[in-house]
Amino acid sequence: MLLLIFLSSGLFLGWSLGANDAANIFGSAVGSKMIHFRKAAIIASIFVVLGAVFQGRGTADTLSSLGAVDALAGGFTVSLCAALTVFWMTRYAIPVSTSQAIVGAIIGWSMFAGLPTNYTVLTKIVSTWISGPILGMIFAAGLFLLLRWFLRRTKIHVIKLDSYIRISLIVVGAFGAYSLGANNIANVMGVFINTAPDIILNFGFFSLDGVQLLFLLGGLAIALGIFTYSERVMHTVGNGILSLSPEAAIVVVLSQALVLFIFSSSALSGFIMSVGLPAIPLVPVSSTQVVVGSVVGIGLVKGAREIKSKALGEIAAGWVVTPLAAGFLTYIALFFVQNVFKLPVFSGTINKPALQLNTGATPSGFATEINMILPAILAMSALAIIILIFLIFRQQKLRLKTENELLQQQNNYYQAQKTLSGMEVTAVHLENSLLNQKLETKRREYINIALNISSQREFLQSVAAKVEEIKEIEDRNHQQELLNELSLVVKQKMNFSNETEELYAKIELIHKDFRQKLTVSFPAFTEQEKRLAVLLRLNFSSKEIASLMGISPKSAEIARYRLRKKLNLKQGESLTQFIHNL
């Protein structure tokens, strides 16, 4: 029971991770409205638990070597402070990393315990805060260019493309959730590995040891955080930095999933070592930094002007504040847990001289330790005060701006209400007029269709009657002469000049902007050449173009050749592709 009480802070951290880092899996998909939030939450929850249980040990061992928290009270405090830091950032809808929070908290614990920090492990972890976004940026840029090239070559119909994208987002999102659980469960339960129960549960197909049971609890806590609090941050990631298309959403999810998988796969690291290359460090990667780097990579490909630098700056500030705030909060909390609640936060805490708060002689070692710790406390306190003042002033500025905007909106609403009645009357009259015009247009269109059908029926009846007359004539020469006359009449009727002009009028109305662009870019084009370009843009074949323009297929090919010459296209360049790209 006591173990579960101490684990509650780790479960709270898992809840915070799910509330914040689920945005790195499905934030792009939910932000682009390709997947509903509830469906994304179900998929992410299932696969994040699987990844945590079956592939989370490697990164957890690395994190525990940064600072071996060897007391339940210490692990409880470290996890609680990291969770509070992440929760505080999440309240402001700023996507931060639980990796940064837990690393800052562990360093705070090491400083309080007077234990040296493993700077080799710390360097590996911090290096991923730099290499992770860079890898995500590279993967995203390359995958986005590859996907864009593939879509241009295949020319998939828009309805099929939409369904393919939705399926791809689900598959890639499941892979991303699995990688998140495998890589980031160390942040949730890594500090409790040393106190895991020594048991093994056999389920037949698989078995779970004590550490995996801890990971299972942490995975379930992450799933709870996904369902209860992650929707706001999903929209921040999906739309706060760069408005993403569905294709870009797939690239973002896949690139960050690949980066997380690389830094959590023991099999991949072992394979790299087997070929004589340095092993890939199995460290908890900041999934937030990776996904933001991926979004920035796509933004650079699409044009740096599309990146919303203000939102990016706020997220970067959160990355700097998070480990500092977590470390400072952990240091202060450990002091209270040790001295107020009298709980050991590390091995030998009860007998540590730093706990001797009673009056009397102080050992020289304690005085030396106080001289070393007090400057650190003062520096961290000053930094915390500066950050707090900055956030207070910033919050006040945002509040005043929001109040001014609200007053302006209320004033605009009042002014709009004064003129609403007249505008409504005018709108009703205008709507009635437009409806009458539409009805009249439709009525004329239906009358024309009916007249055309009647005319075609009468013509065909006359042709049928004429054929019957010709069949009864015995004179072959006279019969042939009448057949030639009838053939000429039919060919004249097949002109369809009115229908063709009506079709052209509708096509040109739909592609009005394209015709204007042709007029501006190529003023020497004739009307016939503009029509040919519009038909080519609609992917009409030469035979179809010949039929619509009333010319032979050979003449249509010649017209295409002359159009290529006017456009100065080189041999091998596609005329249709060139017109599509205009």
DSSP string over 273-323:
HHTTSPPPP-----HHHHHHHHHHHHHHHH-GGGS-HHHHHHHHHHHHHHH
For 96, the 3-state DSSP assignment is coil
Domain termination site, one of 330, 348, 366? 348
On whether both 483 and 512 belong to a single domain, the answer is no
On whether both 343 and 476 belong to a single domain, the answer is no
Domain termination site, one of 313, 348, 383? 348
**What is the per-residue pLDDT for 563?**
86
On whether both 472 and 579 belong to a single domain, the answer is no
The distance from CA 488 to its chain's CA centroid, rounded to whole angstroms, is: 64
The distance from CA 284 to its chain's CA centroid, rounded to whole angstroms, is: 21
Inside any domain, residue 460: yes
Contact predicate 570/531, CB 8 Å: no
Specify the amino acid at residue 423. Answer: M
**What is the per-residue pLDDT for 44?**
92
Inside any domain, residue 580: yes
**What is the per-residue pLDDT for 368?**
43
Inside any domain, residue 374: no
Inside any domain, residue 326: yes
Inside any domain, residue 389: no
Of the candidates 12, 13, 15, 19, the residue with the CA atom closest to the CA atom of residue 234: 19
Contact predicate 325/381, CB 8 Å: no
CATH of residue 560's domain is 3.40.50.2300
Q: What number of CA atoms fall less than 13 Å from residue 432's CA on the CB side?
A: 5
Instruction: Say how many domains are in the chain.
Output: 3
**What is the per-residue pLDDT for 353?**
37
Low-confidence ranges of the chain (pLDDT < 50): 241-242, 349-382, 385
On whether both 148 and 276 belong to a single domain, the answer is yes
On whether both 213 and 112 belong to a single domain, the answer is yes
Domain termination site, one of 299, 329, 348? 348
φ/ψ of 164, rounded to 5, equals -60, -40
The distance from CA 420 to its chain's CA centroid, rounded to whole angstroms, is: 40
Quick one: residue 457, left, alpha or beta (phi over 0 = left, psi -120 to 50 = alpha)? alpha
**What is the per-residue pLDDT for 255?**
92
On whether both 435 and 318 belong to a single domain, the answer is no
Inside any domain, residue 355: no
Distant-in-sequence, close-in-space partners of 133: CB < 8 Å, separation ≥ 6: 286, 289, 290, 292, 293, 296
For 200, the 3-state DSSP assignment is strand
**What is the per-residue pLDDT for 307?**
55
**What is the per-residue pLDDT for 246?**
76
Instruction: Please state, in angstroms and rounded to a whole number, the distance separating the CA atoms of residues 149 and 275.
Output: 33
**What is the per-residue pLDDT for 493?**
67
φ/ψ of 96, rounded to 5, equals -115, 180
In this structure, what token pair is assigned to residue 99?
Answer: 């990796």
The distance from CA 144 to its chain's CA centroid, rounded to whole angstroms, is: 12
On whether both 73 and 129 belong to a single domain, the answer is yes
On whether both 167 and 195 belong to a single domain, the answer is yes
On whether both 440 and 482 belong to a single domain, the answer is yes
The C-alpha torsion from 148 through 149 and 152 to 155, rounded to 10°, is -90
φ/ψ of 405, rounded to 5, equals -65, -40
Instruction: Please state, in angstroms and rounded to a whole number, the distance separating the CA atoms of residues 77 and 192.
Output: 11
Inside any domain, residue 383: no
Distant-in-sequence, close-in-space partners of 374: CB < 8 Å, separation ≥ 6: none
On whether both 264 and 325 belong to a single domain, the answer is yes
Of the candidates 112, 115, 90, 92, the residue with the CA atom closest to the CA atom of residue 101: 90
First to last CA, the chain: 70
Instruction: Please state, in angstroms and rounded to a whole number, the distance separating the CA atoms of residues 317 and 21.
Output: 17
Contact predicate 175/258, CB 8 Å: no
* Residue ranges making up the domain that contains 295: 2-348
pTM of the model: 0.54
- Crossing angle of helices 527-537 and 497-510, in 10° steps, is 70
- DSSP H helices, 155-278, are 158-189, 210-229, 231-239, 246-262, 266-274
On whether both 489 and 550 belong to a single domain, the answer is no
**What is the per-residue pLDDT for 501?**
67
Inside any domain, residue 376: no
φ/ψ of 209, rounded to 5, equals -95, -175
For 345, the 3-state DSSP assignment is coil
Instruction: Please state, in angstroms and rounded to a whole number, the distance separating the CA atoms of residues 292 and 133.
Output: 7
On whether both 490 and 502 belong to a single domain, the answer is no
